[in-house]
Amino acid sequence: MQFHAMETRSAKRKKIAQKQQDNNAKTTPSKDLISDLPDDIIHQILLLLPIKSVAQMSVLSKRWKFLWTTFPYLDFTTLNPFPLISSKSHKKNSNFEKSRHPFSSTRLDFITQVLNLRDIKYKDIRVLCFRASLSFSCLNRLVRNAIRHNVRELDIEVETEFDYDNFFNFPRCVISSESLSVLKLKSGFRLPPSKIMKDGFQSLQTLSLSQVILYNQPSLFDLFSESSFPLLRNLHLDLCFGLTHLRVACRVLEDLRLERCYQLQGLDVSCGKLVRMKVVSCFDSYSEKTWVRINVPNVEHLFWQYNAVTDVTVFENSSFLHEASIGLFMLKEGKVDLDRLQSANTFLCGLSHVHSLTLQSQTIEVLSNYSFFVLPFENLKSLELRTGFNKSNVEAISCLFRSSPTLHTLILEITNDYKIERKQWNRDLWDMNNTEEEQYWESHIPCLKSFLEHLKVVKIQGFQDCANEVTLAKFLLKNGKNLEEMILCTGHSNRRDTLRRQKIRSQMMGFSWASSNAKVEFQ
């Protein structure tokens, strides 16, 4: 009983102490630790929130209202894009537009008001981004307002009412801005004359232009130079309509991307510090005369995809080239153009120092039309080939093997072309050692000696049990002295195909392999 009484008194004392703590917490005002932080740190916290939430927080206190007027990161892309407001029909249909989209004018006014309410002492804007549908006059007004606030990064994507006779003229205030370092503009617009643009963009480090109309000035051959863009490090041109000739010779440029410039006929790239280059869908094979000159001695990553083979190619070797993905194509109509085939060969010779190479299916077809002399890829460790792997391109694949004497990993992605009839593998073919496919590969053992000694990993995707691919797998197992792993990805198949593949698998396990460490895996 005495112990129970002591325990009860102890519990009472704890309850009284807890009650006193609760009362003190209620009477003592909690300290606002976040508001005591420096402006720069609070700006970084607010950067994680949508712009609408940041604006709503301005009503919390005078301190937060001041922070809102100095917030340097204005990203309006979190707001829903407002509808197109035509400069000609805005007044005429203003009542209709307001009734149809009651918040559209509010959003447009919101951006303008935010820019106008900037504190004079802290008016500089680091980032301004918005996506919208605007008239030419509204877009011009917003851009000029942003430049007046010394914006550093301007990212605009606008849908405007334009046609090929009515363009949005590129604001000249952007060209002369001394604060702007990043400019990303996506809209149907027309560039000023080159002589005007040459004297601007002195502080620009990143430039991304999309949907540029160049039919009346189809050449940018004298624009992207060291004098015009002395600090430019990143250049992205996309959907430049009417662009026929382009020269890029910026001294400090590191990243160049050209995409969907379909009318391009001549490209000259000479950049000593370029590290990454991507050219996609930028040549039309119907052009009468096309040419490419590439001098990028320090490039590490090259992506050249969905481009027609040009008539003339000059490609200087890059000893630092680490990764390349190549997709060349030629029209099949008419006779084979030997000049373009030689041009494709020159292009591939420029990749002789590459470490990882991917060749698209159309590139394999181009190689199959010509007896290529390709410089050995002495540094090549990974080769990925995407091909239908039919009888016509076996020679090209063999040529690539011969040119890869130190290859470590081979990835063969077989694309299933239903227009091409492929011979299915069966037991009779397996028992025959003198099939045409096997005779071909066996005859190339001497020239493939180094390739077979260094190859360690083989992966065949889209394995369909056809004669060419089964014969190749068998050949690599029988002669790959240091082969460690072979992965055969069969993909989706019906029950009948599964039974045949089980037979092929058991047959593969039944003959002697050159490497005792090799493992075969069916997926």
pTM score, whole prediction: 0.80
Q: What sign for the dihedral angle of Cα 386, 390, 391, 392?
A: negative
pLDDT at 65: 72
Cα gap 349→354, rounded to integer Å: 10
In the predicted model, what is the mean pLDDT of residues 141-147? 86
Mean pLDDT is lowest, of 21-25, 207-211, 435-439, for: 21-25
Q: What is the CATH number of the domain that holds 463?
A: 3.40.50
Strand order in the sheet with 245-249: 219-225, 245-249, 266-270, 291-295, 312-315
Backbone phi, then psi, for 155, in 5-degree steps?
-125, 110
Q: Of 91-95, 391-395, 396-400, give the range with the top mean pLDDT.
A: 396-400
Within a domain: residue 438?
yes
In the predicted model, what is the mean pLDDT of residues 312-333? 87
Which range of residues forms the domain containing residue 437? Answer: 381-523
Cα gap 224→521, rounded to integer Å: 52
Q: Name beta bridge partners: 237.
A: 209, 258
Q: Which residues of 489-515 are buried (b: 16+ CB within 10 A; e: fewer)?
A: ebeeeeeeeeeebeebeeebeeeebeb
User: For residue 6, is pLDDT > 70?
Assistant: no
Within a domain: residue 423?
yes
Within a domain: residue 460?
yes
Which residues neighbour 375 within 8 Å (Cβ) at sequence distance 6 or greater? 349, 352, 403
CA nearest 175: which of 222, 143, 136, 213? 143
User: For residue 436, is pLDDT > 70?
Assistant: yes
- The tokens for 432 are 């025959």
Work out whether strand 206-213 and strand 255-259 pair parallel, antiparallel, or are unpaired. Answer: unpaired
pLDDT at 384: 96
pLDDT at 218: 63
CA nearest 285: which of 246, 343, 214? 343
**Position with higher pLDDT, 424 vs 62:** 62
Cα gap 502→395, rounded to integer Å: 29
Mean pLDDT is lowest, of 123-137, 205-219, 447-461, 497-511, for: 497-511
Residue 405, Cβ neighbours under 10 Å: how many? 18
pLDDT tens-digit series, residues 152-204: 999 988 875 555 555 667 788 888 888 999 999 988 787 877 777 777 788 99
pLDDT tens-digit series, residues 282-297: 988 677 789 999 999 9
User: For residue 444, is pLDDT > 60?
Assistant: yes
Q: What sign for the dihedral angle of Cα 342, 347, 348, 351?
A: positive
- Quick one: residue 239, left, alpha or beta (phi over 0 = left, psi -120 to 50 = alpha)? left
Question: Per this entry, what is the length of the chain?
Answer: 523
**Position with higher pLDDT, 345 vs 205:** 205
**Position with higher pLDDT, 331 vs 448:** 448
Cα gap 165→184, rounded to integer Å: 24
CA end-to-end span of the chain: 75
In the predicted model, what is the mean pLDDT of residues 301-329? 92
Within a domain: residue 225?
no
Give the model's confidence band at 17: pLDDT under 50 very low, under 70 low, under 90 confident, else very high: low
For the purposes of burial, counting CB atoms within 10 Å of the CB of 377, is it exposed (0-12), middle (13-18) or buried (19 or more)?
buried
Q: How many Cα neighbours within 13 Å face the side chain of 110?
A: 19
Within a domain: residue 464?
yes
Domain total in the chain = 1
Amino acid at 222: D
User: For residue 88, is pLDDT > 60?
Assistant: no
Within a domain: residue 62?
no
pLDDT tens-digit series, residues 30-78: 556 666 777 778 777 777 777 777 777 777 777 777 777 778 888 888 7
User: For residue 396, is pLDDT > 50?
Assistant: yes
pLDDT at 56: 77
Within a domain: residue 324?
no
User: For residue 91, is pLDDT > 50?
Assistant: no
User: For residue 92, is pLDDT > 50?
Assistant: no
**Position with higher pLDDT, 96 vs 250:** 250
Indicate the average pLDDT of the chain. 79
Residue 190, classed as helix, strand or coil, is strand
Within a domain: residue 265?
no
